[in-house]
Amino acid sequence: MQAVGRVVRAALEAMRRAVRPGISTAELDEVAHGVLESHGARSAPKLVYNFPGHTCISVNDEIVHGIPGARVLQEGDLIKLDVTAEMNGFMADAACTVGVGKCSPEALRLVRCAQTAFRDAMKVAKAGARACDVGRVIERSARLQGFSTIRELCGHGIGKTIHEPPTMPNYFDPGCRDVLREGMVVAIEPMVSAGSRRSVMDRDGWTVRTSDGSLAAHYEHTVVITKGKPIFLTAA
């Protein structure tokens, strides 16, 4: 999983460097595809779910699972890059949000919010903690920054396939009783909105948007739970 995590990181960084006004989401997808292919890795969403792209690329009010295509990025767009790869039977998952050119102050604050919520979550993501406690921290962090966490979307365990137990909510869900164990591998991924905490499915059957059209940001890494600080598999 460390090996595939490094490939995910390389693909995500290559995409991030390529983001600019005038590039299409399909071109960004091909950047990641080239990195995966060069390492003998495959797109996990395509492999597991037959997703119509190698990566998920979501723009502005799109939160996750956007389909790469002919859309050309414009100055001020907020783009979410999400890479999940499979290599030698194991998977890893990471995502980031990038501003295209010069973005609004609110957009930049939203990007920082998702990152800060993730860092705050890392302080409690250790063996013995409940998944809902991690969600509580993420939700509180976002609220303190004036934003909302999306209720219908969550993090997850990952390993031999993309989505494994436990579910990792981004808010305090008292019904979530999963306890984190040493050695468990999870993808923790705050998804935050400048407006509503609710989401809707696009007509394409894949893309998830904010219900009120507000901007969204997403930040994610795959980590190994320990008794202390988590071990990052998709970050240096």
Tokens of 84: 């999940």
Tokens of 37: 């292919």
Model confidence at 236: pLDDT above 90: no
Model confidence at 88: pLDDT above 90: yes
The CA-based angle 180-185-188, given to 5 degrees, is 80
Tell me the pLDDT band of 15, cut-offs 50, 70 and 90. very high
Q: pLDDT per residue over 156-172, tens digit each? A: 999 999 999 999 999 99
Supply the pLDDT for residue 55: 98
Tell me the pLDDT band of 175, cut-offs 50, 70 and 90. confident
For 37-60, what is the mean pLDDT?
A: 98
Model confidence at 120: pLDDT above 90: yes
Supply the pLDDT for residue 84: 98
Its pTM stands at 0.96
Supply the pLDDT for residue 188: 98
